[in-house]
Amino acid sequence: MIATSMALIQHVCSAPLARAARPRFLAAVISSRNLSIRSSSSPPSPARASQADSHVLLGMSEQELQQVALDFGQQSFRGKQLHHLIYKRKVKEIQDFSQLPQAFRNDLEEAGWKVGRSPIHNTVTALDGTIKLLIKLEDNRLIETVGIPVEDSKGSVRLTACVSSQVGCPLRCSFCATGKGGFSRNLKRHEIVEQVLAIEELFKHRVTNVVFMGMGEPMLNLKSVLEAHQCLNKDVQIGQRMITISTVGVPNTIRKLASHKLQSTLAVSLHAPNQKLREAIVPSAKSYPLDAIMKDCKDYFLETSRRVSFEYALLVLVLLLASWSQ
Ligand code: SF4
């Protein structure tokens, strides 16, 4: 039941914004599951940030931010302040870092640094409070992310962020709107993290859970997903056990993920009860048979002691074909 539900989260999370019209169902799904000092005018060394995120502060650890401060001739405590401003106060513009000296702010901007937050292009709110956001990235590409609030019987709210890992998706599962739209590019570390911060800002509430079930196949962008996972855990302070990484199955990646020994759940989207049917709706299944996926899932469990969940999108045609073939 839980596994079935999770697939539908992915399907709904991957649907276009205009199709965010199944919120009650989505909420039910979620609730059933119990994310050298140098002169002040010298530019900082780009090597401090990973190449993909160079000159972007969001996504950096406290230690990395301290090094940025040192690179600008500041004392290391300025890096701690940067960390506080970015992750606790969620300040979006360098000029709004009012605790920092004006000269440091100017130096950062002149050297091309930015916080790395993007504007929200559009939102759709459902009756149950689920909000789907379109975020406009620096290159004008749009990504979707969904905030799903669920209130328990004691009145406390669990807020789940369903985040995208790619702009579009190259895997083209036959039932998926994102897959049909094609693939543009991988998201960078900060572009994944900022989705969570955007949801926190919109809901004025901490995100308690993160599921990598939005646009894209996380295993095809594993480097950025792992970097974002680390930032969400250590800097945004979301427990590893509250983060789920989903995949439709990409050869040799589950083992790679397992080697990092994360305490996060792996969710595998099966969508069909046998290899033949699966190949019909998930083109990538041809290169990664169910037997091999199951073996890798077993190894993931042995390596991490974390359970693996399996997801199904309940597609009527697939269910009919399955029953006819029996
Ligand atoms: S792997 Fe890509 S195409 Fe398949 S369901 Fe996920 S987002 Fe859609």
Per-residue pLDDT tens over the stretch 250-302: 999 999 999 999 999 999 999 888 899 899 899 999 999 999 999 999 999 99
* Rounded (10°) angle between helices 23-31 and 2-14: 140
Helix (H, G, I), strand (E, B) or coil at 21: coil
Taking the C-alpha atoms of residue 175 and residue 177, their distance in angstroms, rounded to an integer, is 7
What pLDDT does residue 314 have? 77
Per-residue pLDDT tens over the stretch 47-100: 344 444 579 999 999 999 999 999 999 999 999 999 999 999 999 999 999 999
Taken as a whole, the chain contains a residue count of 326
Q: How confident is the model at residue 7 (pLDDT cuts 50, 70, 90)?
A: very low
What pLDDT does residue 326 have? 59
Of all protein residues, the one whose alpha carbon is nearest to atom 3 of ligand 1 is: 179
Q: Which domains does the chain have, with CATH numbers?
A: 8-36+117-325 (3.20.20.70), 51-110 (1.10.150.530)
Does residue 102 register a pLDDT over 80?
A: yes
Per-residue pLDDT tens over the stretch 150-184: 998 888 999 999 999 999 999 999 889 998 999 99
CA of 164 to the centre of ligand 1 (A): 11
Considering the chain, what percentage of its residues have pLDDT values greater than 70? 81
Q: Is 170:8 a contact under the CB 8 Å cutoff?
A: no
Instruction: Give, as one character, the DSSP assignment of residue 156.
Output: P
Does residue 240 register a pLDDT over 50?
A: yes
In the predicted model, what is the mean pLDDT of residues 110-135? 97
Does residue 113 register a pLDDT over 90?
A: yes
Q: Which atom of ligand 1 is nearest to the CA of 247?
A: 1
CA of 136 to the centre of ligand 1 (A): 21
Helix (H, G, I), strand (E, B) or coil at 133: strand
- In the structure, which protein residues have their CB atom closer than 6 angstroms to any atom of ligand 1? 10, 14, 169, 171-173, 176, 178-179, 215-217, 248
Give the Cα-Cα-Cα angle 287, 289, 290 (nearest 5 degrees): 150
Q: Is 322:274 a contact under the CB 8 Å cutoff?
A: yes
* Lowest mean pLDDT segment, chosen from 5-14, 72-81, 232-241: 5-14
Q: Is 209:178 a contact under the CB 8 Å cutoff?
A: no
CA of 75 to the centre of ligand 1 (A): 46
Q: Is 149:203 a contact under the CB 8 Å cutoff?
A: yes
CA of 82 to the centre of ligand 1 (A): 36
Q: Which two tokens stand for residue 325?
A: 């073939």
Q: Which of 10, 221, 250 to mutate to test the pocket of ligand 1 (most atoms within 8 A of CB)?
A: 10
Q: Which atom of ligand 1 is nearest to the CA of 216?
A: 7
CA of 312 to the centre of ligand 1 (A): 12
Neighbours of 321 (CB within 10 A): 17
CA of 172 to the centre of ligand 1 (A): 6
Taking the C-alpha atoms of residue 296 and residue 303, their distance in angstroms, rounded to an integer, is 10
Torsions phi, psi for 64 (to 5 deg): -65, -40
CA of 214 to the centre of ligand 1 (A): 9
What pLDDT does residue 106 have? 98
Of all protein residues, the one whose alpha carbon is nearest to atom 1 of ligand 1 is: 217
Which of 232, 169, 119, 202 lies closest to 10 in space, CA to CA? Answer: 169
**Cα distance between the two ends of the chain:** 22
Q: Which of 169, 212, 225 to mutate to test the pocket of ligand 1 (most atoms within 8 A of CB)?
A: 169
Q: Which residue has the higher pLDDT, 39 or 114?
A: 114
Taking the C-alpha atoms of residue 33 and residue 15, their distance in angstroms, rounded to an integer, is 21
Taking the C-alpha atoms of residue 204 and residue 202, their distance in angstroms, rounded to an integer, is 6
Q: Is 72:38 a contact under the CB 8 Å cutoff?
A: yes
Q: Which atom of ligand 1 is nearest to the CA of 178?
A: 8
Q: How confident is the model at residue 324 (pLDDT cuts 50, 70, 90)?
A: low
Per-residue pLDDT tens over the stretch 178-230: 989 999 999 999 999 999 999 999 999 999 999 999 999 999 999 999 999 99
Which of 212, 185, 184, 183 lies closest to 196 in space, CA to CA? Answer: 212
Q: Which two tokens stand for residue 215?
A: 């646009």
What pLDDT does residue 203 have? 97
Does residue 26 register a pLDDT over 90?
A: no
CA of 297 to the centre of ligand 1 (A): 19
In the predicted model, what is the mean pLDDT of residues 3-7? 37
Q: Which two tokens stand for residue 282?
A: 């998930």
Instruction: Give, as one character, the DSSP assignment of residue 120.
Output: E
In the predicted model, what is the mean pLDDT of residues 98-127? 97
